[in-house]
Structure 1
Amino acid sequence: MNEDFLHYVWQYQLFSIDDLKTATKDALSILKIGIHNHNSGPDFLNTQLKIDNQLWIGNVEIHLKSSDWYVHHHEVDENYDAVILHVVWEDDATVFMKNNKPLPVLVLKDFVFSNALNNYRNLFSSKPRWIPCEKEINTIDNFTVDNWKERLFFERLERKSNEMNQLLVENKNDYEVVLFQLLAKNFGLKVNGDAFLYLAKSFDFSVLRKVRDDEKQLTSLLFGQAGFLEDVVEEEYHQELKNEYKYLQHKYQLNAISKNQFSFFRMRPPNFPTIRIAQLISLYHLHANLFSKMMQTETLKEFYDLFEVSVNPFWKTHFTFDKVSKSSPKKLTKSFVDLLLINTIVPLKFLYQKNRGGVSENDFLDILQKIKTEKNSIISKFDEIGVSVKNAYESQALLELKNNYCAKKQCLQCAIGIKLVRK
C-alpha cells in the first residue's frame, strides 16, 4: 500500500459514498474533492464537504496512517491549518488541530471498492515481473493505448530537448555548436559516444568553421585532435595530415586528446571510430550551416539525401591508417541516419521550435512513424509479451513507458495502470 493509491482513490472516488462516515461516525458528504496539489502543502486544495450537515471548505491531507501527521510535523506547519479532513488507510492516532479539537478522519479501507483494491494489489504484486502489467496490458483498449503512446512520445521528446537545452546554454545559444557536439556523440554510438563528445568539445567550434572548406585541414583537425596522428605510420596520407595538424595546432593553440579513449574492441570495422570520424568530416565538408539545413528539411527522404556523403578515397580502402582493406564505399546507412534522427535531430528540432514559440507536433509524428522500429532488448521484450511495435514513434513511446513508468512502478500515473485499477 502506498499514498499514491490513496490519492488516486480519493481523486476518482473509488469508494462507496453511500452512508459515508468519519471515524467518529459523523455523516460525511463530499461536494468537491478539491484540486490535486503536486507541490508542498496539503494533498488536495479547495475541497468542499459536509460533516453532519455542516459545510466545510478547506484542504484534505492524505496519509497511510493518522500518526504520519506528526511524523511529518504538520502540527507546526501553518500550511496545514486549513485542513478539514484527514484521509487515511489506518487510523492509529488522534490528530488535534491548533484549537485542540480532533481533526475529522475518513478511514478509506472501510469504504474502498474491493475490485479497485484487488486490481491495485495485483498490479503491485511482489511476484517478479518485467513490467507490473505484463499479463494484463493487452486487455486495454486501443484508444487508451494509442493516446497514451502519443503522450509518452512527447514526454520523451520534451525530456531529451530539456537535456539539450543545457548544452545550448553552455554554448551561448549557438545551435550549430550543439548540433556538432550531439552528432559527434551519436557518430560514436554507445561504445565511443563519450569519447566523440570529448573530441567535439576539445576545440572551439570557430576553428572548424574556418577550416571546413579545406578538406585536408578539416581532416587534420579532427584526426589530430583525436590523437590518431601522433603515431608513426608508414603512409603518405597520414604524414600529410600529421604535418598539417602541426600547423593548425600551433596556429589555434590546440591540445589533442588521447586516442586510447576510442575503442576498436569487438566492433565491426564499419563502426571503427576512424571510419565514423571520416564520415563526420565528409558531412561537415559538404554542408555549410548544417543546422539551418536540417531545420528546413521536412521529409525522411530529404534527410536521407542530406546524409548522402562519400568519405575521402583513402578510407574506401582502409579501416585504419596502417592497414589496407578491400574497397568499400563506407557510406552512412539509412539505419544509422535513423538513429541520428531519433536521438539528435528530431529532439533538437523540437527544442528549436519550442524556443521560437511554436511546435508543429505532426511534423515529428510523421517522420518517426516512417522510421523502422528500433532494435533493443526492451522493444524485443515488449514484442515477446504481445505488444506490437510498428515504427520508431511507437518504440520511443514504449522506451519512455518502460524506463520512466514501469521501472519506477509509477502505475497510477500511467494511463494503462489507471485503466487496470478501475476495471
Structure 2
Amino acid sequence: MKENLLHFIWKLKLFSSKKMLSTNEESIEITSTGIENLNSGPDFFNAKIQINNQVWAGNVEIHINSSDWYKHNHEIDENYDSVILHVVWEHDVEIYRKNGDTVSTLELKNYISKEVLKNYEQLFSKNNNWINCEKDINSVNSFAMDNWLERLYFERLEQKSLFINQVLAANLNNWEATLFILLAKNFGLKVNADAFLNFARSFDFSIVRKVSNNLEQLEALFFGQAGLLSNEKESVYFNKLKQEYSYLKVKFKLSPISKGEVQFFRLRPNNFPTIRLSQLAFLFNKNQNLFSKITEVNSLEGFYKLFEVSTLPFWETHYTFETTSKKSSKKLTKSFVDLLLINTILPLKFVYLKSIGKSDFSSIFSILEEIKPEKNTIISNFNYLKIDSSNAFKTQALLQLKNEYCNKQLCLQCSIGKELLKR
C-alpha cells in the first residue's frame, strides 16, 4: 500500500462509508473528507465528521501505519492538535495528542473495495508499457477525455507563460521586443534554439527598429550578431554584408555571439540558419509593428497571410554563402508558420490577453483546432492507442499528458487514471 493511494481513496471517497467504526468501536459518519493540503501540516483541512453522534470539524491525517504518527513527531507538534481523525491502512498502536487525549483512528483497509485495489495494481504493474494505462485509455468516455485534454492544454499554456513572462520582464514589458526574441528562438528550431535566443538577446531591439527599413542592412545585423560573418569568404554578397555589419558594429557598439554557436549540422537545407535568419529579417522589414498586428489577427488564414515572407534574392540560389544551388523560393511554409503559432504566437497572445484582464481564449482554441496535428513519436504512439489527435489543440494536450503525467507516474493526479481507478 502507498500513502498517495490512501490520499486518493480518501479524497474521492472510494470506500464503503456505511457502518464505519473506529479502532475503538466509535461510530463514524463522514460528511466531508476535507480539502487536500499540498503544503506542510495535516493532509486534509476542514473535514466534517460525526464520531459517536458528535459532529466534529477539523483536520484529517493519513498514514500507512498508526505508528507513523510518532515517526513524524506529530505528538509534539501543535499543528496536529486539530486532527479529528487519523486515517490509516494498518492500526498498530494507539495515538495520542500532545495533551494526552486519544486521536480517533479509522483503519481504512476494512472499507476499501477490492476492485479499487485491483485497478491500482493493474495500472501500476511493472509490464514495460509505454504508458501505464495503454490497455484501457481508449475506454475512457469521450466527455471526460475532452475535458481533461482542455485542462492539459491550459496547463501547457501556463508553463510556456513562465518563460514568456521572464522575457517580458527583462524587456521592461516591451511586447514588440519580447515577440522578436521569442520568434528568433523558434526560428532556430531545436538545433539552433539556444543560439538564436542568445543572438536575439545580444543587442537591443531598438536597433532592429532603426535599421528595419533597409532589408540588406537588417540582414547584415542579424548575420553579424549570429557570428556568421566572422570568417573570410570569396562571396561578393558575404563581403558586402560583412562591410555593412562592420559599420553597424561600430555605430551601435555591438558584440556578436561566439563564432560556432550557430550550427548547420543535422539540418535540412531549408532549415539552415542562413535561410531562417534571412526570413526573420524579411519578416521584421515587412512589419514594423508585428506584435500589434498579431493582436488583431484572429484566424489561421489571417496568420498565414501575415507571415507570407521570403528572403532576399541572393538566397533563392543559395543555402550558404559559398555554393550556388538550383533557384527556388524560400518562403515560410504553412507548416513552419504552424510551429510559430503553436510555440510562440498563441502562447504570447494568451499572456497578453491575461495581462489586459481578458478571460475569453476561444480565438486561440479555434485557431489551434484548425492547425494540422503535430507529427512526432509521442503522437504516433497515442494514435496507435486509438486516441484522437486530429488537430494541434489535441496534440499539444497529449504532449503535456505524456511529459508531465505519464513519464512522472502521476496517474493519481491524472483524470484518466482517476476514471480507471474508480471503476
Specify the TM-score bucket, using the shorter chain as the normaliser: over 0.9
Maintained 8 Å contact 1:307/1:332: yes
Structure 2: give runs of 5+ residues left out of the alignment: none
Partner of 2:272: 272
Paired amino acid for 1:143: F
Distance change (3 Å), C-alpha of 1:369 and 1:105: same
Q: Distance in 2 between matches of 1:252 and 1:36?
A: 56
* 1:324 counterpart SS class: coil
1:228 to partner: Cα distance: 1.4
- Structure 2 counterpart SS, 1:320: coil
SS of match in other structure, 2:400: helix
| Aligned partner of residue 59 in structure 1, secondary structure | strand
* Range with bigger deviation, 352-361 or 72-81: 72-81
Number of the residue aligned with 2:30: 30
Does residue 53 of structure 2 align to residue 49 of structure 1?
no
Which amino acid in structure 1 is aligned with residue 363 of structure 2?
D
Structure 2 equivalent of residue 301 of structure 1: 301
The answer to which of 336-345 and 242-251 deviates more is: 242-251
Code of the residue aligned with 2:213 in structure 1: it is D
Offset at 1:76?
A: 3.0
Contact 1:350–1:359 (Cα < 8 Å) also in 2 = no
- 1:11-160 equivalences under 5 Å are 11-160=11-160
Give me the whole-angstrom Cα distance separating, in 1, the residues matched to 2:332 and 2:73.
60
Answering whether residue 409 of structure 2 is matched by residue 412 of structure 1, we say no
CA distance in 2 between counterparts of 1:344 and 1:72 reads: 46
Instruction: Within 5 Å, give how 1:4-403 maps onto structure 2.
Output: 4-403=4-403
Shift of 1:383: 0.8
1:333 and 1:76 mapped to 2: Cα distance? 66
Q: Tell me how far 1:73 sits from its aligned partner.
A: 2.8
Deviation at 1:226, TM superposition (A): 1.2
C-alpha distance after superposition, 1:330-358 (max 9, x if no partner)? 11110000000000000000000001111
Amino acid at match of 1:262: V
For 1:227-263, what per-residue CA distance to the aligned partner results, in whole angstroms no more than 9, with x for missing partners? 2112111122211111111111111111112331122
State the alpha-carbon separation in 2 of the partners of residues 229 and 47 from structure 1. Answer: 68
SS where residue 85 of structure 1 aligns? strand
CA spacing shift, 1:169–1:93, aligned 2, 3 Å: farther
The CA distance in 2 between the partners of 1:266 and 1:224, in whole Å, is: 22
Contact 2:78 2:98 in 1 (8 A): no
Q: Deviations over 1:1-58 (max 9, x none)?
A: 3222212211222112222111222222223222222333212222222222233221
Letter in 2 for 1:421: L
CA distance in 2, matches of 1:159, 1:417: 22
Which 10-residue stretch deviates more, 118-127 or 395-404? 118-127
Task: Specify the SS of the correspondent of 1:118.
Answer: helix
Once the two structures are superposed, residues 68-125 of structure 1 have per-residue CA deviations (whole angstroms, 9 ceiling, x without a partner) of: 2233332332221100111111223332101212211111111111111111121121
Is there any run of 5+ residues in structure 1 with no aligned partner, and where?
none
Instruction: State the Cα deviation string for residues 178-200 of structure 1 (Å, max 9, x = none).
Output: 11111111101001111110110
Select between 298-307 and 229-238 the one with higher mean Cα deviation.
229-238
SS state at 1:323 partner: coil
The change in CA–CA distance for 1:167 and 1:76 in structure 2 (over 3 A counts) is: farther
1:388 CA drift (Å): 2.4
Distance 2:306 2:231 in 1: 34
Deviation readout 1:289-342 (Å, 9 max, x if unpaired): 111111111110010011111210001111011111111111111000000000
**Is the contact between residue 188 and residue 273 of structure 1 (CA under 8 Å) also seen in structure 2?**
yes
- Percent of aligned pairs sharing the same letter: 54
| Structure 1 runs of 4+ with >4 Å offset | none
Partners of 2:397 and 2:408 lie apart in 1 by: 16
Residues 42 and 61 of structure 2 are in contact (CA less than 8 Å); yes or no, is this contact kept in structure 1?
yes
The code of the aligned residue for 1:29 comes to E
Q: State the alpha-carbon separation in 2 of the partners of residues 101 and 337 from structure 1.
A: 67
Q: Is the 8 A contact 2:227 2:262 kept in 1?
A: no
Amino acid at match of 2:305: D
Q: Give, as a single letter, the amino acid of the residue that structure 2 aligns with 1:371.
A: I
Distance (whole Å) between structure 2 residues aligned to residue 166 and residue 266 of structure 1: 30
Tell me the distance in 2 between the aligned counterparts of 1:77 and 1:99. 11
- Provide the C-alpha distance between the structure 1 equivalents of 2:227 and 2:53, rounded to a whole number of angstroms: 80
Tell me which amino acid in the other structure corresponds to 1:34.
Answer: G
User: Secondary structure of 1:28's match?
Assistant: strand
Q: Give the conservation status (yes or no) of the 8 Å contact 1:87–1:107.
A: yes
Query: 2: CA distance between counterparts of 1:410 and 1:227?
Result: 44
User: Retained in 2: the 8 A contact 1:162–1:351?
Assistant: no
CA distance in 2, matches of 1:92, 1:34: 25
AA of the residue aligned to 2:236: E
| Separation in 2, partners of 1:35, 1:20 | 21
Paired with 2:224 and 2:62, the residues of 1 have a C-alpha distance of 62
SS of 1:17 mapped into structure 2 = coil
Q: Is the 8 A contact 1:389 1:395 kept in 2?
A: yes
1:260 match: secondary structure:
coil
User: Which stretch has the larger CA shift, 83-92 or 31-40?
Assistant: 31-40
Deviation by residue 1:355-381 (Cα, 9 ceiling, x = unmatched): 111132211110000000001110011
**Take 1:91 and 1:177, find their aligned partners in 2: how far apart are those partners?**
61
Q: How many residues align?
A: 423
- Classify the secondary structure of the residue corresponding to 1:331: coil
- Report the more deviating stretch, 269-278 or 15-24: 15-24
* One-letter identity of the residue aligned with 1:112: I
